[in-house]
Structure 1
């Protein structure tokens, strides 16, 4: 009996996840259409993630905003870098702080590995 209940619960969870995935994909496609873009205009990895339901409308909106900037458009061309940019709004600020701290420590002669 317990096994039947567990299977039913697992099936219900899978159905809910599939419905959530479809809703996220529909929202992302809606945002894409409002931005005046087609699915074919996106990079292959973003298109695959969107079709798989792993991309929300917020990520598509962020991607469209970033593509307006020539510097960010160039950075989005690097696969790993684009994932960080889309996942974390403050990634560039964090990166700049880390680089600034590293340069100051280098100039002052502080060994960051020892601290």
Structure 2
């Protein structure tokens, strides 16, 4: 199922198949639009099960729509070094790139916030 939203605030849902995904990706590339999706998960650490569930849901979507192929990657930004090691081990053979990044505990954005989602 895909959810479509228009500029006029209309939202519709429709079932799609892998062929339609493949066609949409080719069409996007031909028209010069992006056809890459980076899914970023940010965490302070300590919620590894939640992070894993998010990654597993992305992988389940990839199994349903294999046409996405190399168009999707997952990034995890965390302050927990132990979680980096676990994620690297668990997803080393995932069909898409799953890349954890370590954010230093003392990281501050240019505006002196702690918003780790702005780290990359």
- Classify the TM-score, shorter chain: under 0.3
Q: Which has the higher contact order (CA 8 A, sep 6+)?
A: 2
Structure whose CA Rg is larger? 1
The structure in which a higher percent of residues are strand is 2
TM-score by length of 1: 0.25
TM-score by length of 2: 0.24
The structure in which a higher percent of residues are helix is 1
